[in-house]
Structure 1
């Protein structure tokens, strides 16, 4: 029997509500021509509603899953980068420790070489007072200048390399910033999509609540992944900074190592050069000592011969000189002319023995001119050969240049120990004199 004929007196009224598809029966009589149309429309609406619900579920679930997979892949990549940077940091730390060890070793060796260099330099300075010139110092300064120039060029090259690395890091930073802005844009798009869905499908609250719960879960996971991504990004930046610090430290240690190596080589060259110079100086010194001994023997023999040579009649012998004590009186200038006429000059006294000798020859309290004067410059006493006074025997309070015209020195005979004194007097005074040749 046809179901349409069985339900002939019943009209089905189907309404769509928030809880789903609800069917209510209305026992009012409807015309038979409208029942098929009504049923078809009802079925068509149900199919359309089911299709819309399927599309919404597919969009929410598939999109959320795709976002989660992408975030997970990004998290894995960041984890791998973090591990790689950590390994590089450990490697740089080990290399830095090795460079520090090499630096300490080279510093100790440099101190030893510097100590040995100082010792050799001191010996060299003592020996070079008579046998070296300033040309070696000029060459050393030129070599130091060349070394400093090379060090400056090396530092310039290191600066250029660091500048290129800084530009590369700035590019990487800009790439990460653009990636971060992309993530923010995607988050903003998701929020907008969420608001649009809430406005369109408010009548499907229950299904939306379920989907919203799943969406919140996915968002929570996404936020957690985003937080993990940010944390990994900070760790990556920190590791990158540590890497840069280690790299700069490594470059600095490498530069110090190279500089110390060059200094060590330079010290070694200086040491070898000083060693050769020391050997040469020792050989020269030995040769000079031998020559000195020969000259000393020759001088002793010559001195003995000179002491053995007798003086002319009327002259007194002392050591290798002959002395003439005048019996007449003249002023200082005329006395000197008289000595010059005999191939001599006024006496020059430079030892205590000579002072005692002259004092014994002169008569009691006798005064005699000697070859000492300050006529060229007041207060500057010079012997007649232009040499300064090295040993003096002035009377107490002398010379005083009384009245400003006492420019010549005289010998005053005294019976005191060790014997005799000097006094300044006017060069015009006439008295005895003493010649020496």
Structure 2
């Protein structure tokens, strides 16, 4: 009977262990409450540090960022002037110092988070051990209940036997007394079992309280993790803004330097251009004087026999007929080329070299690019005298131009370069 009594000393725990009321796992699961108290204090310190860091950001860093944003909204000239003053340099240094402090604080928070995670894992393991102990105690309690029920049944049977034995013989009176003694023992055992049940119920309530405390610590850890994530995002945002401002400053400095160099280069080019313009003006006057003298000499010169003079050029009308390519070769052999018509007077003169209804090749072709008519010297046509509806490329490969004598001025027409007809040379 003494082995079933519960005491606070060691021998009491040994007796409970031997009777399987308290298992060795339950003894090992007893954790000092001081660890839980320390963990709560640590969480409170971390929360206070986070609040202080947010207050520091609102009082120091946000005004600096507002000033930097104001700098960014200035024009490039105002921003350059603003960045050069001493106040911005001091604020930039203060910002760097604050950023370094934030980085240090972030590293400390990372270490504290790892310590909290380790403590959380330890508490989770202890929770699992307590749940195992609770399950074992519940099983043993059920076994004790079954044992009490069995003993109650046995007691009823003994009562029935006692009645039978009392009726049958007085000789069984001794046995009846022994059964009565056993009944008293069972009653005492039942009382002890009820006391043990009450003790287990109390321990269960304590375990439930500890479980609630663990849940509260876990919620605090989640809150700390959320605050850490927010601080990390804020740090990244500040870093991006800091990098952008540095890049903007470098770009402004580079732009200012480039503009200053470009101004010097343009000033130098302007001076050289003005000097060259003056030199070209002098050269042009000299060349114009030489051209005038040459034109006077050319006008006084006569063309060779068979050639007719107009302006400063000599013109030759063939008596035979050839295709456009051979006609040009014939002109080149004479030191000339097929005629190029630049003015209306020249058009009327060339037209007068032909008899009424005659055609003759001129130095006009679109053989290189269809529809893009050019003279034999490569210059494009500026003034044209095409017949109505011409050029039409009516027949395939009409890539050469001819003049048709059908009016006082004459008209142009496109024709196949393979056709044989007269030609007119100019030199």
What is the TM-score when the length of structure 1 is the normalising length?
0.53
Q: Specify the SS of the correspondent of 1:323.
A: strand
2:301 aligned to which of 294, 309, 312: 312
Greater RCO structure (CA 8 Å; 6+ sep): 1
Contact 1:346 1:371 in 2 (8 A): yes
Equivalents in 1 of 2:213, 2:394: separation in Å?
Answer: 111
Contact 1:68 1:222 in 2 (8 A): no
Q: 1:17-36 maps to which residues of 2 (within 5 A)?
A: none
* Cα separation, partners in 2 of 1:194 and 1:345, compared to 1, 3 Å: closer
Contact 1:311 1:322 in 2 (8 A): no
Alpha-carbon offset, residue 370 of structure 1: 5.4
Alpha-carbon offset, residue 171 of structure 1: 5.1
Equivalents in 1 of 2:39, 2:204: separation in Å?
Answer: 21
Gapped regions of structure 1 (runs ≥ 5): 1-15, 17-44, 60-64, 114-163
Q: Specify the SS of the correspondent of 1:313.
A: coil
1:322 aligned to which of 313, 328, 333: 313
Q: 1:24-423 maps to which residues of 2 (within 5 A)?
A: 53=7, 55=9, 67-89=32-54, 91=56, 97=62, 101=66, 104=69, 175-184=118-127, 187-188=130-131, 191=134, 203=192, 222-309=210-297, 310-313=299-302, 315-318=308-311, 321-324=312-315, 329-331=319-321, 343-356=335-348, 358-359=350-351, 362=353, 365=356, 367=358, 369=360, 371-372=362-363, 374=365, 383-399=375-391, 409-413=401-405, 415=407, 419-423=409-413
Alpha-carbon offset, residue 78 of structure 1: 0.9
* Cα separation, partners in 2 of 1:242 and 1:408, compared to 1, 3 Å: closer
Alpha-carbon offset, residue 182 of structure 1: 4.6
Aligned residue pairs total: 327
Equivalents in 2 of 1:68, 1:342: separation in Å?
Answer: 123
Gapped regions of structure 2 (runs ≥ 5): 14-29, 78-106, 145-188
* Cα separation, partners in 2 of 1:185 and 1:341, compared to 1, 3 Å: closer
* Cα separation, partners in 2 of 1:294 and 1:232, compared to 1, 3 Å: same
What is the TM-score when the length of structure 2 is the normalising length?
0.54
Contact 2:357 2:405 in 1 (8 A): yes
Equivalents in 1 of 2:386, 2:406: separation in Å?
Answer: 12
Equivalents in 1 of 2:38, 2:309: separation in Å?
Answer: 121
* Cα separation, partners in 2 of 1:355 and 1:386, compared to 1, 3 Å: same
Alpha-carbon offset, residue 94 of structure 1: 7.5
Moved more, 343-352 or 371-380: 371-380
* Cα separation, partners in 2 of 1:213 and 1:354, compared to 1, 3 Å: same
